[in-house]
Amino acid sequence: MAALRSWKDAMVAAGAVAVSHVPEASLGRTDIDEVAGAEPVEDSGLAAHPVEQGAPAPPAIRFLDGIELWKVVYYDGVLPIVRAHVAAAVKSRGADRRLRTADEAGRDCFVTSVALLRPAVRAVLEASGLELVDLPQEEASQPGRALEAARRAVERARVALEKQLGERCAERLGPDEWLVVDGVLSESSVLAGHPRALAVIKSHGAQYFAGPELERALTVSPGNRTSVFRPRGRARHEVYSWYQRLWPWEGNDVLFGLLRVEARAHADTVRAASRIGGWLHRERAPLATPDARWDRLLYPIHYVETYLKARAPRDLLPAPGSRLPKTGT
Amino acid sequence: MIGKDSALPTASPPSAPRPVGHVVATELKPATPYQFHFWTANETSIGIGAIVRVEEPGNGKRETGNEIRETGNGKGETGKVVYGVVTDGFAYSDLATPLHDVVGAEGDPARAAESPTARQEIRLWTAAVLRQIPEEPLQPVPLGRVHVATDADVARALRMDAYLGGAHPTAIPVGLYTSGGLEAPVYLDADFLLGPEAAHLNISGVSGLATKTSAVEFLLSAIFEHFPPHKGRIAAVCFNVKGPDLCFLDQPGTLDAEDRRRYERLGVPAQPFERVRYYAPFKADGANLNTLRTHAALVGDVEPLVWGLREVLDFAEVLLNRDDIDAKADAFIDFLADRVVDKEFADGFGNVHRVTTFADLDKLFRAVFDGLELAGRSDTWRTHHIATIRKVRNRLANISTRCKGLVADDGPSNDLPWGRFEDRAVYVVDVANVDPLGQDLVFARIVSKLREHLERRDLGVDAVMVFVDELNKYASADGPDTYVRKMLLDISERGRYLGLVLFGAEQFRSQVHRRVVGNAGTMVFGRMDSDELATPGYQVLTPATKTKLATLPIGELMVRHPHFTQPIFVRFPRPAVLRGRDGVERFPPAADLPFEDAVVRQLVKLDRRIRPNQVKDLIADRLEQDVRRALATVRQTHPEDPLACLRRQLGARVEPEPARGAVPPLAPISEEPY
């Protein structure tokens, strides 16, 4: 026992950080595993900058988030028929610190490969009154592939809805209002070019650095941000970005409390990064518990998500354990 | 696409009032036939005691037997309506554990309030069901919309619709239910407040806030105004047992505009009682009244309460302590009452007595003792042992000493107008400064007489409300089994058949005999002491209701009534009469007058033409006891010429014998001792 303790001490002394984490929740998108690359904007290399502690938040901020819920509700032969619900909402926060719904939209649909359905089943689905989203036949040839295709289709629907709502909101923003989006700005030219739109990204599947710069990015201290950089890779519209740490990661995981922020690709963004980082830092409170991602999830975003889930169709929400008494069988 | 752009709530059409909440039910907090839970906006007018209406959502159809009927209102509601009263409230946020707040504020309480976003909060309320319409089948409360109750809703919820209308309405306003800017009168059912269905009212509350007395004063006004004509005539007898509380019921008090508006809303005139009769015993001097209503402008209305031997002897049991009560003493007292008092009675020693006063009785006792001693006979007289006779004589003498002023040694008595009670009149009997023994006597005798006359239906009214404060003292749960307590129990249990209604008040309901409070059909609670609320009698109340009771402002009450399935909070206006404390400031009690002046005042009250000097000349050099006896006769007979009557009663003046001249000593007394 004494030997084990001295080995742990030696690891820490050598520069390793002791952590305790089950990495599943912080994996982020699994479909992006390459290093996308980044172009320095603020500094020649990636450096750490303190955020402006106490920087006042804008008097009014709108927060946008969306949800997607789906489940297989039928099989036609071995073809899964997925029932899906996507929704997005914008909540506005004013001087009273309360969040109120400013805009929302939702969409209910069936997702399947229509051409592979038997005519009778297809007729019933078409008569259901819900939209029918078609999957290409080649992606639905096997149940497993069909489900993955359905998942992507539902995700696309959600992203499209968020984009639609975000753009509508950006057009209506008041002169002192900001829009904070859960996700990325780079999917929309309107949002990517808006001077008062921000995106906060919680998952870090896509990496933009390697080696010592990656270490500096992922181990930035709480209350600090990295230099502003221009992400490369699959982004459709150019934005600036920086990493920012909300909570100490030591003792948890290297991605714990780490956000990536996206804003307009403009010189003003570089000038305002520390100030924006300052008021984002204050968004740590209240904690977005009981969500497991509370270390990176801003409470207003969590609130929008809770709101959308509360209004979602009950049959698509994860079923709680049966409350009926168990029988002998 | 099911897009719902712009989700800001839109205003409902004016015809459909906006709901203030929605019923929710979970496995842990289900809706039941008698209780439900609902949430409201954070900023809401709902509070503890608020009455709400729940409308059942649905398709407008209800299955009854084998058929499905259209029962709704055309808005998808099935027509089932549930009324409830809020009994508890909860507020909480989505904070999973307090630790998360500490973490979010980094341990600094000052920063906890600086978070940019306010946490989502809920206002969750628990309501007890007051009524379901239709009442059958009795089912759990539907998960419907919650509305603030209107006037009509309050009437239906409290089942007041049964007695507010019809050919013989029996509604008595008790106060205003107020919530969320709405205000609705709350009525009690006279049949259940004053009999015969149920009766009696009990009011509890801490002392010093004037809530109990004020509430009773207002309620008496309301009863006098709204007592149903078909129920006959009614009067009130109020025992003033402390201070000047009830001494100024005929004087107008100070009311503000809000009070007057409430009076108008409740249909009660904002004015003092029109007919108030005051009774108070004399002080020990037998001339000055023992009350705080002695200001020159008011004392003329106060009738002296004077009782003689007969009145006392009938209630000797009240006055004798437990040790005195034995069969021999009882037998002797009964002998006196049956055979001696008010009769020609020969004592067996050659004397004939007519005993009408304590003085006469004492003469009889002395004659008996002398007779026995002179005759040298046994120590028994008329089968009663001399020790018993002496004991009874001592106790009765003690009464006339301790209750001097109330009990006259001699002279006639002066009493309440038995048989001539007036409709809507208040009879105030002021015993605040009387010895406790005397208070017991007054109380026992008056209530017994009320009962006696009501049984014979010859009191002058059909029902009498008897207001007794300090039930903790008179009907104590764990005190001695006194005559007064027995009588209060008797009224509580049988008074409603006679029209004898007890309005009792006390500070600690838990310390009043359970049958006295248990028989009260209507319970009223003012601000309560926390310790009292912790007693078992209040277990049925929720913690929130108890907290509200412990902090209830003056002018607000909680009412329980047979028609109300849950306690209801009401506000009542200040009584339109002068409060006791204000009364003694505006009408400071007069200092005790010298005996001569006190006699003058009583005679002037009977005849304003009488000049003080005439009276003073008449009673100069007379014994006070002779004057008192003569005055009592004048007071009782109400002669046309009181002065002449007094002169006759006093009789001819007996000139004192001239002083005899000094007899000179036989020999001068020398200062020299030798």
Distance CA A258, CA A48 (A): 13
Residue B302 · residue B280 · CB < 8 Å: yes
Distance CA B235, CA B572 (A): 22
pLDDT, position A31: 43
pLDDT, position B430: 92
Q: First CA to last CA across chain A, in angstroms?
A: 48
Facing residue for B116 by CB, picked from A89, A282, A290: A282
Distance CA B156, CA B166 (A): 15
Residue B32: name the closest of B147, B133, B127 by CA: B127
Residues of A in contact with B114 (CB under 8 A): 282, 285
Pairing of the two strands B556-560 and B568-571:
antiparallel
Question: Do residue A303 and residue B3 have CB atoms under 8 angstroms apart?
Answer: no
pLDDT in tens, B393-422: 888 887 777 788 888 776 667 889 999 999
| Cα torsion angle, B326, B329, B333, B334, sign | positive
Cβ burial, residue B312 (10 Å; 0-12/13-18/19+): buried
- B637-654 as b/e: b if 16+ CB within 10 A: eebeebbebbbebbeeee
pLDDT, position B344: 87
Q: Confidence class of residue B10 from pLDDT cuts 50, 70 and 90?
A: very low
Name residue A134's beta-bridge partners.
A112
Question: Which residue does chain B place closest to A301, by CA atoms?
Answer: B117
Cβ burial, residue A147 (10 Å; 0-12/13-18/19+): middle
% of chain B beyond a pLDDT of 70 = 89
Residues with Cβ within 8 Å of residue A254, at least 6 apart in sequence? A17, A19, A218, A219
Number of helical (H) and strand (E) elements in chain B, helices listed first? 23, 24
Question: Which residue does chain A place closest to B107, by CA atoms?
Answer: A285
Which of A229-238, B154-163, B192-201 comes out lowest in average pLDDT? A229-238
Q: What residue type is B671 in one-letter code? A: E
Residues of A in contact with B1 (CB under 8 A): 107, 131
| Cα torsion angle, B62, B64, B70, B72, sign | negative
Residues of B in contact with A287 (CB under 8 A): 100-101, 103-104
Task: Output the average pLDDT for chain B.
Answer: 84
Residue A31: name the closest of A218, A261, A203, A232 by CA: A203
Residue B351: name the closest of B329, B331, B366, B373 by CA: B366
Q: Which two tokens stand for residue A176?
A: 């002192």
Which of B70-79, B107-116, B307-316 comes out lowest in average pLDDT? B70-79
pLDDT, position B2: 33
pLDDT, position B174: 95
Cβ burial, residue A161 (10 Å; 0-12/13-18/19+): buried
Question: Which residue does chain B place closest to A98, by CA atoms?
Answer: B118
- Quickly tell me which residue has 């003694």 as its tokens: B584
Which of A16-25, B47-56, B456-465 comes out lowest in average pLDDT? A16-25
A89 touches chain B (CB under 8 A): yes
Distance CA A185, CA A236 (A): 9
Q: Describe the crossing of helices B595-606 and B612-619 by its angle, rounded to 10 degrees.
A: 130
pLDDT in tens, B539-597: 888 888 899 999 998 889 999 999 998 999 999 999 999 988 899 999 998 888 888 88
H or E element in which residue A244 lies: strand A239-245
Q: How far is the CA of B607 from the CAs of B593, B641, B650, in angstroms?
A: 19, 8, 18
Distance CA B316, CA B325 (A): 10
Distance CA B252, CA B261 (A): 17
Three-class SS of residue B478?
coil
Distance CA B34, CA B277 (A): 48
Q: How far is the CA of B95 from the CAs of A67, A305, A320, in angstroms?
A: 22, 16, 21
H or E element in which residue A108 lies: strand A99-112
Residue B78 · residue B62 · CB < 8 Å: yes
Distance CA B342, CA B508 (A): 44
Residues with Cβ within 8 Å of residue B620, at least 6 apart in sequence? B596
- Quickly tell me which residue has 């004991």 as its tokens: B391
pLDDT, position B524: 94
Question: Do residue A289 and residue B7 have CB atoms under 8 angstroms apart?
Answer: no
Which of A4-8, B36-40, B274-278, B488-492 comes out lowest in average pLDDT? A4-8
Facing residue for A93 by CB, picked from B2, B94, B117: B117
pLDDT, greater one: B97 or A227: A227
Residue B39 · residue B22 · CB < 8 Å: yes
Question: Do residue B117 and residue A299 have CB atoms under 8 angstroms apart?
Answer: yes
Q: pLDDT of chain A along its 329 residues, tens only?
A: 444 455 556 656 655 566 554 444 334 444 445 667 899 999 998 999 999 998 888 999 999 999 999 888 888 888 888 889 999 999 999 898 999 999 999 999 999 999 998 888 888 888 888 899 999 999 888 988 998 999 999 999 999 999 999 999 999 999 999 999 999 998 899 999 999 999 999 988 888 999 999 999 999 999 999 999 999 876 689 999 999 999 999 999 999 999 999 999 999 999 999 999 999 999 998 999 888 899 999 999 999 999 999 999 887 876 665 555 555 54
B370 has pLDDT over 90? no
A265 touches chain B (CB under 8 A): no
pLDDT in tens, B528-545: 988 999 998 888 888 888
Q: First CA to last CA across chain B, in angstroms?
A: 144
Mean predicted confidence (pLDDT) in B345-351? 84
Residue B146 · residue B37 · CB < 8 Å: no
Which of A1-10, A300-309, B242-251, B327-336 comes out lowest in average pLDDT? A1-10
Which of A301-305, B224-228, B433-437, B496-500 comes out lowest in average pLDDT? B433-437
pLDDT, position B333: 85
Residue B621 phi/psi, 5° resolution?
Answer: 70, 5
Peptide bond before residue B252 is cis, with ω within 30 degrees of 0: no
Residue A145 · residue A139 · CB < 8 Å: yes
Residues of A in contact with B95 (CB under 8 A): 286, 289
B53 has pLDDT over 90? yes
Min Cα separation A165/chain B (Å)? 9
Angle at CA of residue A85, ends A83 and A91, nearest 5°: 175
Residue B517 · residue B509 · CB < 8 Å: yes
Residues of B in contact with A107 (CB under 8 A): 1-3
pLDDT, position B615: 85
Alpha-helical (H) ranges within B475-623 are: 483-498, 514-518, 530-533, 543-550, 580-586, 595-606, 612-619
B87 has pLDDT over 50? yes
pLDDT, greater one: A27 or B646: B646
Distance CA B582, CA B235 (A): 25
A53 touches chain B (CB under 8 A): no
Q: Which two tokens stand for residue B322?
A: 């437990």
Q: What residue type is A263 in one-letter code? A: A
Question: Which residue does chain B place closest to A279, by CA atoms?
Answer: B116
Angle at CA of residue B425, ends B420 and B431, nearest 5°: 90
pLDDT, position B611: 85
Facing residue for A99 by CB, picked from B1, B6, B117: B117
Question: Do residue A286 and residue B119 have CB atoms under 8 angstroms apart?
Answer: yes
B605 has pLDDT over 50? yes
Distance CA B478, CA B236 (A): 29
